[in-house]
Structure 1
Amino acid sequence: MQRLIDKAHCKEIAVIIDVVYGHTDSLFPYCYLYRELGYNENPFMGPFAKDYFGESTDFNRELTRDFFFTVNHHWLDTYHVDGFRYDCVPNYWDGPTGQGFSNLVYETYSLVKAKKGEKGYWQRFFEGGNINLIQCAEQLEGPEEVLEKTYCSSTWQNQTFNAATEVANQKWEYLTNFGHRLGLLGYPHEVKVNDDNIRKTALQYIENHDHFRFVCNFRTISRDSSDLLIEGDRSLWYKVQPYMIAITMAKGIPMLWQGQALCENYFVPNSGLGSVAMFRPMRWDYFYDFAGKKMISLVRKLLKIRMKPQFLYGDHWFYDDPKSFQSRGLMLFSRRYKGIFSLVALNFGDSDQEVFFQFPLAGEYEEELHGQDNFTVDAGEYKSITIPSNYGRIWSLNA
């Protein structure tokens, strides 16, 4: 694995590990052994914060804290990983100054910080003058707080996902919230903690392991009387397009879930064993059918556009105009970095829409997705633009 990760680094690919530190299965040795021996005092397990998913680990105990810190150290030192995605943080969240999650990410950050000046693989964490350790929290119950008050660098958040789901049900009134979520309104960009300046961001997604695939919002097909074999109707793949454009061009880190780029269409029940225990392998044959080819083509274009500085580093501005835009199923936002400006115009409805937009900067604008509908405008000029149904346009100033 170390060789695999080192090869990934040569391709400028960071590798993080998904770690589950807050709960275990009942057959985990510290559970099973002490239970079978009838010992009441378990040095590792026990209630701590919120008891979700199995048996909880007790971060009040020194052994537990040292164990998971040592695991992090092992992954960093032996396998050269770039960081961690911490599963279900509420299991061991006891506040920003507690013994659980906050202490673990602080100790892990301090470990890496202390390696500055050493030779070898540790130096990748200090390129660019920052400490580039990735510590991503799945703290869905308080994503803003975990960024603001701990040493983690990023977080999952379901706010964008929830807003997108409402819009997919043609509740256009949620487009305003969706627009603000895409701009990570209320989230810090950088936080000074003690003497450390830590860059912060959040993930942007419309699919993950806990929920059904996004195309299921538009129509599902039942295979039998249960909900275990329901699937989304992939003939409606095109309705996913504006959402894919939105999260890829938005502020934050776009996360494309397993098979999302091919319009995977599994349905996942909200609860029960069917939501976690049913085997749902990625269907690579979708790569070759009509819907898969169309989606992967779009994703490749979007990822190429995403690498431009305005989308990586730029400010995000949502044009909140319910009468002109949201009430018609439209959303417009811009990304701007120094003198580079891009307008992202999205249409979530089933008919093409023409709107007027006042361009803030003069110049030649090129449409990035297809290279059509290019134009030149003066600063402050209102220009009529057409946004295709269930799709979008990205116009960038040709600097």
Structure 2
Amino acid sequence: MKKRVLFLFMVMISLLGFSQVQDVTYTISPNTFEEDDSITITVDGTTLNEASWGITDNALYIWSWSYDLNDENSMDCPTNGSWTNSNEANKLSYNSTNDEYSITFTPSTFYARTDIGRIGFLFKAKDGSGDKKTPDYYAEVGSFQLTRTAPTDQTTIITSGQVVPITATTTLAADFVLKANGNVVNSSSSSSTSYSYSPTLTESTFYELEATNGSTTLTSSFQIIVTPTVTEAPVPANMKDGINYDTGDNTKATLVLYAPAKNYIHIISSLNNWLVNDNYLLKKDSTKDRFWIELTGLTPQTDITFQYLIDGTLRVADPYSTTVLTESNDQFIDSTTYPNLPAYPTGQTNHSVSLIRTGEIPYNWQITNFTPPAKEDLVIYELLVRDFDALHSFDAVKARLDYLQDLGINAIELMPVSEFDGNSSWGYNPSFHMALDKYYGTTNAFKQLIDECHSRGIAVIIDVVYNHGTGQHPFYRMWNTDNGGYGGQASVDSPFFNAVATHPFNVFNDFNHENQATKDYVKRTVQYWIEEYKIDGMRWDLSKGFTQVSTTDVGVWSSYQAGRIAILKEYADYQWEVDADSYVILEHFADNSEETELINYRVGEGSKGMMVWGNHNHTYNEATMGYHENGKSDFSWISYKNRGWTVPANVSFMESHDEQRLMYKNLQFGNSNSGYDITNLATALDREELAGAFYFTIPGPKMIWQFGELGYDIDINFNGRTGEKPILWNYFNETDRKDIYDTWATLIALKKEYDVFRTNDFTLDVANTNGLKTIHLTDPNGSSSLKYVTIIGNFGVTTQDITPAFQQVGTWYDLLDNNTTINVTNVNSVISLQPGEYKVYGSSPSTLSTEDNSISRFTVYPNPSRDYIHINVNVTEMIIYNMLGKKVLAYKGNYRPDHPFHIGSLPKGMYILKMKEAHKTTTTKLIIN
């Protein structure tokens, strides 16, 4: 018998804010058809905005697939082409008179298969990247069709004892069977084209109406929910919002949902076949506006998927899910990235679902004593997992850590990794703030990446997005004007979102951070990331948006706001409550008085005090391009002292994910003079080395955007601003590009090695209209190391003389050229610099060799020793070998000077001690007595 099931749920696809999904009106003629019939699908062009997809010449395409007679075993149409380049065979014809697109085909030919029970299709631009497509649409194959005429909704809510008419029609005469919760309750063998039955219901029931014509059976499924009586009971002690696992009983889990003004909530899940069952009705704690349920008898290490069914109609995943499954994205995640990905319950529900798995074996952290770098020493590498490696995974990033460690960075900042709409994204479209996005890998893979980073002395910072949530966010769907859909706007009773955004840069749905519900949500999710993943800090995206001062004026929005400051101080406290050393970095760009108050908050308490992003892209790029008139290339605002600050709290950058790449503009718009042309590739790359010399040497935290160290020169708008960019690891093998990497690595090593680059005694002379720039740094305590540094550079396009103004006469050392010496007899004697030439001079030579057996800087004490030894400098690795060369003890991490290393487990004798700090490795003898 051929049996086709008409799915209970229509698949809903989010109108993604960062994507460009459009719903269109279409028709199929004839409306019932066999697989050998010719059919025509017509799209109403008035319902399509071609320009938003960049469509020209009416180039619209169909992307299609088919199923077998049981509506299973999907196969793509062989002429689809690729997602980024549709086959011309699937292009729709355009009728300008009617503004209609159409395509005609015979299913068995079009799909190159027979016994087709169902077809699926969508319409798209030729290059569909960036979600330039419609939702998925479906059509049943066969002239025999079943239509349910009552009840018309998939879910109907009634009171107990109510009569419910059930009626249906078919296109051909059929025998009917009605099943309730799997049991036959009514049948009709009259071979009629209509059906009618009216039961009286006292309990919730799932119905299946079957119509059989010959060998074909069609099924229409629906449910009737009888409004339940809710039990009032207090939420059990120590339960948090979301999923609570019982550490003493791995067969139990307690779910808690904040849902003011909601009447009743069921759990629908793999535990109850996704049917409404009052055994899974949540209790209600009206005093806390929360519903809860304790699930028992669970099988440990078994995947359980579930949703909340609110008031009988709205299906949402838990807002505090740590893993969510999505119907339209998960099938595109490969098993290499995410092995054994649980299957989405297709055909049983729609929208995102939550995952419960009790009895999981905790991750065994290898590094438990990591100390993050001091804020002033930070060199952060901002990284988008998707565009960093073709495998777009945490594992792939981990495999590249040698590259990053050799560059010398000591922190990675990951663009958002919490669950976002779609798969390919920048991540600033968050839908679940506590779930890891599966497109990048598993939770253990993320922990392994962090563990490995910590073993190398590299901190991990994540980008978090709390200005807004997308339409898929459960708390948005629970209170909106779209009846729980993804569109509309937040309703006035929303405890979380503003109906209208309060500031001009908002996207998606604007959180109201003055509401206690939002604060509770932020606290719960922020602290989870720190506790669960041991991340070292957070970069708060669009933190200036955390305001209820409504304005469309950017100037007003950026002005001092006490309310916003209070919110951000509270959020910083959330981080420090669970990790006193956690970095708090704000993308703020507000009035200097506001940023000053934020960076000074709790600044004297250990490692506390916030940091803010400092965008210097424009001035540095003007400098690299060779334009200096009217202060264009004056990047002196990078100095925290110019802002009236006493601490270097500005995370400065020449590039971030949001700015045009320096090299792109060098090549497109660089200045020139005679034989010197900045649009020449080699010259443009040299200008990046010059910029680095005047960037990393300025005291304070710094950030690099991925591949800036190789002169990445792809337009930020390539493939759309947020679209995927070419991953060009081959650049590392090009000499001129590798020179930037090597130069920046040396500059970073200098920055971390010598206190002079932490000094508050420094001056910048970088405003000259001729492009000549100087930096002077003095370490008043550096007489025995590196006391003075003078940096000179010619950002112009002609040879020029510069007055270096050395701090003293005597021998100076070129720190970037093997400590080549010059003898300074007059501190103001001019030096001639070619265009693009620069020098970093030190009053003492640097010692940055990769293998240096001198122990002049390293002191190990006590030596001899018995139980503990200390090393007087910051080290990332300490290894002890016996006299036969066998490793007998090792420590890896980021250890502060004078950290105690326990050696009491080793027997008496002579040993070799190897210590590593940044780019320097030193060995010495150690005696244990």
Q: Assess same fold via TM > 0.5.
A: yes
1:344 aligned residue (785, 788, 791): 791
* 1:172 lines up with 2:628 in the alignment: yes
The alpha carbon displacement at 1:342 in A equals 0.4
CA–CA distance in structure 1, aligned partners of residues 737 and 816 of structure 2: 18
> 1 or 2, which has the higher strand percentage?
2
Structure 1 residues 140-176: Cα deviation after superposition (integer angstroms, max 9, x where no partner): 2335622334535211122x22222333453323558
After superposition, the CA RMSD in angstroms is 3.0
1:263 aligned residue (698, 703, 711): 711
Q: Would the aligned equivalents of 2:546 and 2:567 in 1 still touch at CA under 8 Å?
A: no
Match of 1:44 in 2: 496
The alpha carbon displacement at 1:108 in A equals 3.4
Match of 1:377 in 2: 824
Aligned residue runs from structure 1 range 127-142, under 5 A: 132-142=581-591
CA–CA distance in structure 1, aligned partners of residues 686 and 575 of structure 2: 47
Tell which structure's C-alpha radius of gyration is larger.
Answer: 2
**Aligned partner of residue 382 in structure 1, secondary structure:** coil
Match of 2:663 in 1: 215
Q: Would the aligned equivalents of 2:526 and 2:574 in 1 still touch at CA under 8 Å?
A: no
The alpha carbon displacement at 1:97 in A equals 3.6
CA–CA distance in structure 2, aligned partners of residues 397 and 148 of structure 1: 37
CA–CA distance in structure 1, aligned partners of residues 806 and 534 of structure 2: 46
CA–CA distance in structure 2, aligned partners of residues 143 and 257 of structure 1: 25
The alpha carbon displacement at 1:85 in A equals 0.4
Question: How many positions carry a matched residue from both structures?
Answer: 356
Aligned residue runs from structure 1 range 206-245, under 5 A: 206-220=654-668, 234-235=681-682, 236-245=684-693
CA–CA distance in structure 2, aligned partners of residues 8 and 73 of structure 1: 20
CA–CA distance in structure 1, aligned partners of residues 811 and 479 of structure 2: 71
Aligned residue runs from structure 1 range 305-316, under 5 A: 305-307=750-752, 308-316=754-762
Aligned residue runs from structure 1 range 324-335, under 5 A: 326-335=768-777
**Aligned partner of residue 328 in structure 1, secondary structure:** coil
* 1:295 lines up with 2:740 in the alignment: yes
CA–CA distance in structure 1, aligned partners of residues 795 and 463 of structure 2: 33
CA separation of 1:182 and 1:374: change in aligned 2, threshold 3 A = farther
The alpha carbon displacement at 1:24 in A equals 2.0
Q: Would the aligned equivalents of 1:109 and 1:133 in 2 still touch at CA under 8 Å?
A: no
CA–CA distance in structure 1, aligned partners of residues 514 and 539 of structure 2: 22
* 1:367 lines up with 2:821 in the alignment: no
The alpha carbon displacement at 1:281 in A equals 4.3
Identify unmatched segments of 5+ residues in structure 2.
Answer: 1-445, 485-490, 549-559, 602-608, 670-678, 846-929
* 1:162 lines up with 2:626 in the alignment: no
CA separation of 1:110 and 1:208: change in aligned 2, threshold 3 A = closer
Q: Would the aligned equivalents of 1:73 and 1:108 in 2 still touch at CA under 8 Å?
A: no
Work out which structure has the larger RCO, using CA pairs closer than 8 Å and 6 or more positions apart in sequence: 1
CA–CA distance in structure 2, aligned partners of residues 238 and 349 of structure 1: 13
CA separation of 1:233 and 1:215: change in aligned 2, threshold 3 A = farther
The alpha carbon displacement at 1:55 in A equals 1.4
CA separation of 1:238 and 1:81: change in aligned 2, threshold 3 A = same
Q: Would the aligned equivalents of 1:363 and 1:398 in 2 still touch at CA under 8 Å?
A: no
**Aligned partner of residue 618 in structure 2, secondary structure:** helix
CA separation of 1:174 and 1:245: change in aligned 2, threshold 3 A = farther
The alpha carbon displacement at 1:200 in A equals 4.5
Q: Would the aligned equivalents of 1:89 and 1:101 in 2 still touch at CA under 8 Å?
A: no
Match of 1:76 in 2: 530
The alpha carbon displacement at 1:234 in A equals 4.1
The alpha carbon displacement at 1:188 in A equals 4.6
Identify unmatched segments of 5+ residues in structure 1.
Answer: 116-121, 126-131, 191-198, 222-231
CA–CA distance in structure 2, aligned partners of residues 19 and 398 of structure 1: 43
Structure 1 residues 46-83: Cα deviation after superposition (integer angstroms, max 9, x where no partner): 14642512211111211111111122211222222221
Q: Would the aligned equivalents of 1:22 and 1:92 in 2 still touch at CA under 8 Å?
A: yes
Structure 1 residues 213-235: Cα deviation after superposition (integer angstroms, max 9, x where no partner): 101222339xxxxxxxxxx9744
* TM-score normalised according to structure 2 size: 0.36
CA separation of 1:218 and 1:89: change in aligned 2, threshold 3 A = same
CA–CA distance in structure 1, aligned partners of residues 739 and 536 of structure 2: 33
**Aligned partner of residue 381 in structure 1, secondary structure:** coil
> 1 or 2, which has the higher helix percentage?
1
* 1:62 lines up with 2:509 in the alignment: no
CA–CA distance in structure 1, aligned partners of residues 651 and 833 of structure 2: 27
CA–CA distance in structure 2, aligned partners of residues 363 and 49 of structure 1: 60
Match of 1:194 in 2: none
Q: Would the aligned equivalents of 2:762 and 2:775 in 1 still touch at CA under 8 Å?
A: yes
Q: Would the aligned equivalents of 1:262 and 1:296 in 2 still touch at CA under 8 Å?
A: yes
1:390 aligned residue (836, 840, 844): 836
